[in-house]
Amino acid sequence: MLTRPCTFILFILWITMAQIPGQENKEKTTALKGEQLDLLSRIDLDELMKKDEPPLNFPKTLEEFEYAFNEQGRLRHTTTGEAYAFNAREDLHRWNQKRYEALGEIITRYVYQLLETKCNLTKEIVPVDATVEEPRSFIYLSADAMSNPAKLLVLIQGCGVVRAGQWARRLIINQDLDSGTQIPFITRAQEEGYGVMVLNPNENHLEVERPTKPAPLPSPEASDEPAEKRERKDDRESKKKRDFYEKYRNPQKESETEQIPIRMIQREAQVKNRVCAVAMTDSIHNVWHQDANKSIQEWLQQHCRNWVSSPEPLDTPVEPMLSDCPRVSAGTERHELTSWRSFNSIFQFFSEALQTGEEEETSNTVTTRSSHRTKPDHDHNHNDL
């Protein structure tokens, strides 16, 4: 009997839902903007930029950073043995943030290396038929990912700066590799005979810098402009000032960019037919916002489970906010720890789903064989009593 390949997905979705404010909230928002503009009017941005800030040039490797992961997978300074300190320079948030981001990029490359050396995964370019000029991304596969006849574990991280193989950069830097990366999941899966596929959905576009538009020259008739036009111009200037200050205060992006999407394909029917179980960790998805039809909602209810941040003990049922899939406690109130704390429970969930799938497959096979047995021809086999 041929067993249908079962695909397991360890699926994390971190989606922020936008809400439309009511009139009262609009008034509060307007008042808040007024307060912000008043604050910005008292800040001398020229003086702020003259602040004595070290150059934003940082090391390119862990060794140059003078950090290394010890035997317990914890990041420590190679000289002092101390954990990473974010505030290396007091009162220099911009510099400290840039330093942290530089270390994060090194961590990303370090985890990629571990996926290949420790987990024996292979980097594969996608789309597989991409042209030379086309934007491309990559995923990681075990040797049997495309050929395992029984089960495949697909790992998908949450949104944000994390890349393939990571759950949370904060945990990798401040706690350890086990809690912050997908490596323990990969190792456990390989020990239990799974093929493994590590996806990289946060790298699904190519980001290029947008050309800077030259600033328009001031109009010589500016003083003769109508009051309404001058007011609109003042609003634009205030917005530019506010954006500039926000960029200085929290400088994740210093230049305007545009995103060129990497080609993707949706295969709803294939996913529903082949995926046996989906484990989510602290997902705040909303199937109604994502145009999920009734069949998808029913499939989620039957095949998914969401381990959410909660003060309750691990696996305690949690009242669902929406009737999309069962929710249970991850045994922690820290969002970034939900994957690590629910590690054993997730694999138990997969084992039970696999067993159920095999039982259903056996039952369906027996029923099908029975329905095709040759029936006796009563017209030619008379058994008179």
**Tokens standing for residue 185:** 């999941």
Tell me the pLDDT tens digit for each residue of 186-229: 999 999 999 999 999 888 777 777 666 655 555 555 445 566 66
Answer whether residue 323 is part of any domain: yes
Does the residue 306 lie in any domain?
A: yes
Q: What is the pLDDT of residue 1?
A: 42
Count the alpha carbons within 13 Å of 98 in the hemisphere toward its beta carbon: 18
User: If 0-12 CB within 10 Å is exposed, 13-18 middle and 19+ buried, where does residue 282 land?
Assistant: buried
pLDDT tens digit sequence for 130-164: 888 888 899 999 999 999 989 999 999 988 899 99
The token duo for 48 is 């702020």
- For CA atoms 333, 338, 344, 347, the dihedral sign is positive
This prediction has a pTM of 0.72
Amino acid 75 reads L
CB 196 within 8 Å of CB 145: yes
The whole-number pLDDT of residue 298 equals 85
342-355 residues labelled b (16+ CB within 10 A) or e (exposed): bbebbbebbeebbe
Percent of the chain with pLDDT over 70: 65
Lowest mean pLDDT among 28-37, 96-105, 223-232: 28-37
CA distances from 322 to 49, 111, 267, 277 (A): 48, 35, 25, 19
**Does residue 92 surpass a pLDDT of 60?**
yes
Q: Give which of 207, 200, 205 is closest to 182, Cα–Cα.
A: 200
| pLDDT at 341 > cutoff 80 | yes
Which residue did the predictor score with more confidence, 217 or 109? Answer: 109
* Nearest CA-CA partner of 151 in 198, 196, 121: 196
Backbone phi and psi for residue 261, each to the nearest 5 degrees, phi listed first: -65, 145
Looking at residue 357, its pLDDT comes to 80
Q: How many domains does the chain have?
A: 1
pLDDT at residue 15 tops 60: no
Q: Among candidates 273, 279, 262, which has minimal Cα distance to 353?
A: 279
73 lies in some domain: no
Count CA atoms within 13 Å of residue 32 on its CB side. 6
Beta strands in 157-255 (DSSP E): 195-198, 205-209
- Tens digit of each residue's pLDDT (9 = 90 or more) over 292-336: 677 888 888 899 999 999 999 999 999 877 777 899 999 999 999
pLDDT computed for residue 51 by the predictor: 57
Mean pLDDT of the chain, nearest integer = 78
- Give a yes or no: residue 319 inside a domain: yes
Q: With respect to residue 179, please indicate whether it lies within any of the assigned structural domains.
A: yes
Q: Is residue 269 part of a domain?
A: yes
What pLDDT score does 373 carry?
46
Contact 338, 322 (CB under 8 A): no
What per-residue confidence (pLDDT) applies to 222? 46
Domain that holds residue 296: 6-16+97-205+262-360
pLDDT-derived band at 360 (thresholds 50, 70, 90) equals confident
Is 84 a domain residue?
no
Q: Is residue 230 part of a domain?
A: no
